[in-house]
Amino acid sequence: MSGLSIDDLKIQILENIRIVNDYPKKGIKFRDITTLLQHKDLFFALIEALKNRYEKYEIDFVAGIESRGFIFGSPLAYALKKGFVPIRKKGKLPHKVFQKEYLLEYGSDTLEIHQDAFCGVLNPKVLLIDDLIATGGTAKASEELIMQAGGKCVEACFLMDLKMLSQDVNLKTNVFSVLELWD
Ligand code: AMP
């Protein structure tokens, strides 16, 4: 399976994502990636395929959004031999942070990035990664944090894009999704 392109892997990725209905609350169709992660060959092939895509880009850092963005972002950064920057929920990062509040369906949440996340690199170019984009609030806040910390987001990469929810999202950067899901 190793060496396959992202297009070649799409069907297997789709087949290995479990849908959990009404989690974490009624009406939500939760896309559970743990079933994909336990499939060692597919997990490896996915990271390899992403590596093949992004080694053609000029990137200094991969920034992953807590927590599932860490699962894909860390091995990708390692494979690309680039730095990894965590974008975390409020209160989790120990040093000075920039923070961004964003709206959820009910209420709000806050994400943070270390102020010195990209220090030592001039005009840092950053790949943003998460497992899924829905309304885009999380990705938008993360993109703004990357800019605030002095980075330029070169692309936002998601394993899944819930198109019915993400259609009106306007990130400044290009969005790349492995799977575009319409239901
Ligand atoms: P949003 O800000 O609406 O784009 O939500 C994206 C974030 O919420 C991502 O970090 C996802 O991990 C999580 N998320 C939202 N909807 C789902 C879903 N249906 N299944 C799994 N994760 C989800």
Task: Tell which atom from ligand 1 comes closest to the C-alpha of 138.
Answer: 2
The one catalytic residue in 31, 48, 68, 155 is 68
pLDDT (average), residues 131-159 = 98
Q: Can you tell me the distance from the alpha carbon of 167 to that of 136, in angstroms, rounded to the nearest whole number?
A: 9
Active site residue 18: no
Using CA atoms, how far apart are residues 12 and 10, in angstroms rounded to an integer? Answer: 6
For the cut 90, the answer to whether the pLDDT of residue 11 exceeds it is yes
- Report how far ligand 1's centroid is from the alpha carbon of 30 (Å): 8
Examine the residue annotation and report whether 88 is marked as an active-site residue of this protein.
Answer: no
**pTM to 2 decimal places:** 0.97
Q: Which atom of ligand 1 lies nearest, measured to the CA of 30? A: 20
Mean pLDDT of 56-71: 98
Name, in order, each residue with C-beta under 8 angstroms of 153's C-beta and a sequence gap of 6 or more: 126, 127, 128, 143, 146, 147, 171, 172, 173
- State residue 37's pLDDT score: 98
The CATH classification number of 6-181 equals 3.40.50.2020
Which residues share a beta bridge with 85?
A: 63
Residue with CA closest to ligand 1 atom 13: 132
**Choosing from 15, 55, 101, 105, which is the catalytic residue?**
105
Q: Tell me the mean pLDDT in the region 3-27.
A: 96
What is the rounded average pLDDT of the residues 38-66? Answer: 98
Instruction: Report residue 118's pLDDT band, with 50, 70 and 90 as the boundaries.
Output: very high
pLDDT value for 21? 97
Q: For the chain, give every domain's residue range.
A: 6-181
Cα 29 to ligand 1 centroid, rounded to whole Å? 10
Testing ligand 1's pocket by substitution, the residue of 19, 102, 132 carrying the most ligand atoms inside 8 A of its CB is 132
Q: What is the pLDDT of residues 71-117, one digit of tens each?
A: 999 999 999 999 999 999 999 999 999 999 999 877 899 999 999 99
Looking at per-residue pLDDT, the higher value among 107 and 136 belongs to 136
Instruction: Quote the ligand 1 centre to 65 CA distance (angstroms).
Output: 11
Task: Please give the structure tokens belonging to residue 90.
Answer: 């409020």
